[in-house]
Structure 1
Amino acid sequence: MKAKYINPFTDFGFKKIFGEEASKPLLLDFLNALLAQHNKIINLNFKNTEQLGQTEADRKAIYDIYCENEKGEKFIVELQKAKQNYFKERTIYYSTFPIREQAERGDWNYNLKAVYCVGILDFTFDDYENEPEKSEVVHTITLKDQNGKTFYDKLTYIYLEMPNFEQTEEELKTRLDKWLYFIKHLEDFQTIPAIFKDEVFIQAFAKAELAKFDQAELDSYENSLKTYRDLKGVIDTAFDEGKIEGKIEGKIEVAKLAKQMGLSTADIIKLTGLSESEIDKL
């Protein structure tokens, strides 16, 4: 059966639903559902997704979505389609850019605004094999001391392991449950389930409906979908066969294939951890 709605795990689909100016109400609702224990976000402003290091030798950070709320708090939202070597290290590195950009000239008291890094993962962490956390969907990480007491509450990492989300429509209870169900199953829906009848989700389905796209958007989506399917297969296979786990040769092999597939340098950096100059030499 032909899909009626876009695949949100594609770059095009993810940014169509959450990353456009008209998508702010959707992103706002999703983040408020995810960060329910914190103060409610009233407004969001999109920021430049490309962050530059302080010197030419520093690497760049290129986010899927980067925004700021009315309090000046920063939110990085990343979609990760396949396993990547040193993925956690990359997200931690990314979080340093919104921290450093808060520095002020002259006398400054170092009072920082909070930074949140959200990763929506189309795979599961290997770290939790044979651990109680293996089947959990939401992993929230903050800085704590050896006694489990919060040391610093303005830097938060949240990872969503989407393959672990197995709730049925009848089992959905929270707003976050609904969003995770929407993201995971969107491409399979032919009609809008009754549980999604409120205004925000109706808008989300409207933005995701392929019949409403013009030809240029359809072409962009089809290219993005092909890249998603091909690349996910390549990366997953490479990890399963141990080709890129800690091996620079394997990263280069994957980068070469990604270049042949027409992926952007930014996407290849995200997938392999190679630098821009290393990729340009391939």
Structure 2
Amino acid sequence: MARYINPFSDWSFKRIFGQEYSKDLLIEFLNQLLLGEQHITDVKFKDKEMLPETKDQRGIIYDVFCETDTGEHIIVEMQNRSQSYFIDRSLYYASKTIVDQGIKGQWDYHLTPVYVICFMNFDVDENTPKKFRTDVVLADKDSGEVYSNKIRFIYLVMPLFKKKEEECTTFLDCWIYNLKHMETLEQMPFEAQHKIFKRLAEIADSKTLTKEEQEKYDNSMMVMWDNYAVYKHAEEKGIEKGRKEFALKLLAHNFPLEEIANLTDLSIEEIKKLAISSNGKLCANNFKANSFLPFSIPFSSATSAS
């Protein structure tokens, strides 16, 4: 069994960053993430579930939702798989938190800042920022000058953090390295330089889990593995479908089997079976019975009759 828990399961992430007894870890991490901008001394955890205004609307469940000692609202989210509208989702989270600051009756529209921090623990795709850390603010397009500090997004794409242990020169580097590699570590690095990592090691030590906590952790890991398996299966099926559709188009244009195989990574036998199963459909597209294929396929009586 690994020495430390995987920090990216739902239960583990909340254990490390979303509990009263471990909020010192969250405070220290946020201070390093926002280094030079502000210094947080305390956070107050808010209800992680924001109920909808009517029964027809969807509620929101955050991973971590807190308010700092100076009034900023901070949402910390962890995602293990890509979503088609992930950026839109984070915008929705922030917008809901801003709107909920409204006061009934007389109100001057004064808002406290909202920060959304997203750990993105999945491979880069078209919906993902293309560098490890991306900071998004409301700024003037030409000058880059910040127009308002009331909304802020920080996206951390974990697979794009490539530094080795000896290359971690900042406190934040050390944080990210430990989180990314925690499940494979036998000893928590950087404890001598930063005492907070001794505390992180205590919270994340799998040997200290109670029987009930171990069951919750195991369940959260199974959910994470199942979700990943479903995602990979869907991804592979999508790739396979795309290859077959491309192969059919090439078949319809008389491409040689070897060339189709090279272009699609399908075997020649797979392409032949695909051609046989789709022969009627291809013929319906005004291709002569056997002329569109670089090999002869006998038609069934049903196909000939059609």
- Tell me the residue number matched to 2:274: none
Residue deviations 1:98-133 (CA, integer Å, cap 9, x gap) = 21221112211111000000000111442389xxx7
Q: 2 CA distance for matches of 1:227 and 1:146?
A: 42
1:1-282 to 2 correspondences below 5 Å: 2-127=1-126, 134=130, 136-147=131-142, 148-193=144-189, 195-197=190-192, 198-239=194-235, 241-242=237-238
Larger Rg: 2
> TM-score when scaled to structure 2?
0.73
Q: 2 CA distance for matches of 1:83 and 1:127?
A: 9
Identical pairs, percent: 38
Q: Measured at CA, do residues 239 and 72 of structure 1 come closer, stay the same or move farther in structure 2, by a change above 3 Å? A: farther
C-alpha deviation, 1:56, in angstroms: 2.3
Question: 8 Å contact 2:74–2:115 — kept in the other structure?
Answer: yes
* Structure with the larger RCO, 1 or 2 (CA within 8 Å, 6+ apart): 1
C-alpha deviation, 1:19, in angstroms: 0.9
Query: What letter corresponds to residue 54 of structure 1 in structure 2?
Result: E
Q: Which ranges of structure 2 fall in alignment gaps of 5 or more residues?
A: 240-306
Q: 2 CA distance for matches of 1:5 and 1:13?
A: 10
Q: 2 CA distance for matches of 1:167 and 1:102?
A: 40
Query: What letter corresponds to residue 138 of structure 1 in structure 2?
Result: R
Q: Measured at CA, do residues 3 and 54 of structure 1 come closer, stay the same or move farther in structure 2, by a change above 3 Å? A: same
Q: 1 CA distance for matches of 2:35 and 2:181?
A: 23
Question: 8 Å contact 1:82–1:236 — kept in the other structure?
Answer: no
Q: 2 CA distance for matches of 1:236 and 1:158?
A: 27
Query: What letter corresponds to residue 86 of structure 2 in structure 1?
Result: F
> TM-score when scaled to structure 1?
0.79
Q: 2 CA distance for matches of 1:164 and 1:139?
A: 11
Residue deviations 1:177-234 (CA, integer Å, cap 9, x gap) = 01100110000011232x2233211111101111111111111111111111121221
Q: How many residues align?
A: 237
Residue deviations 1:225-263 (CA, integer Å, cap 9, x gap) = 1111121221244245449xxxxxxxxxxxxxxxxxxxx
Question: 8 Å contact 2:64–2:76 — kept in the other structure?
Answer: yes
- Tell me the residue number matched to 1:275: none
Q: Measured at CA, do residues 218 and 128 of structure 1 come closer, stay the same or move farther in structure 2, by a change above 3 Å? A: closer
C-alpha deviation, 1:149, in angstroms: 3.0
Question: 8 Å contact 2:85–2:127 — kept in the other structure?
Answer: no
Q: 1 CA distance for matches of 2:138 and 2:236?
A: 32
C-alpha deviation, 1:150, in angstroms: 2.1
C-alpha deviation, 1:84, in angstroms: 1.4
Question: 8 Å contact 1:83–1:239 — kept in the other structure?
Answer: no
Query: What letter corresponds to residue 80 of structure 2 in structure 1?
Result: K
Q: 2 CA distance for matches of 1:153 and 1:240?
A: 42
Q: CA RMSD in A?
A: 1.8
Q: 2 CA distance for matches of 1:173 and 1:128?
A: 30
C-alpha deviation, 1:55, in angstroms: 2.4
Q: 2 CA distance for matches of 1:61 and 1:128?
A: 21
Residue deviations 1:48-83 (CA, integer Å, cap 9, x gap) = 010123222222111000000012110000010111
Question: 8 Å contact 1:49–1:66 — kept in the other structure?
Answer: yes
1:142 partner SS: strand
Q: 1 CA distance for matches of 2:235 and 2:47?
A: 32
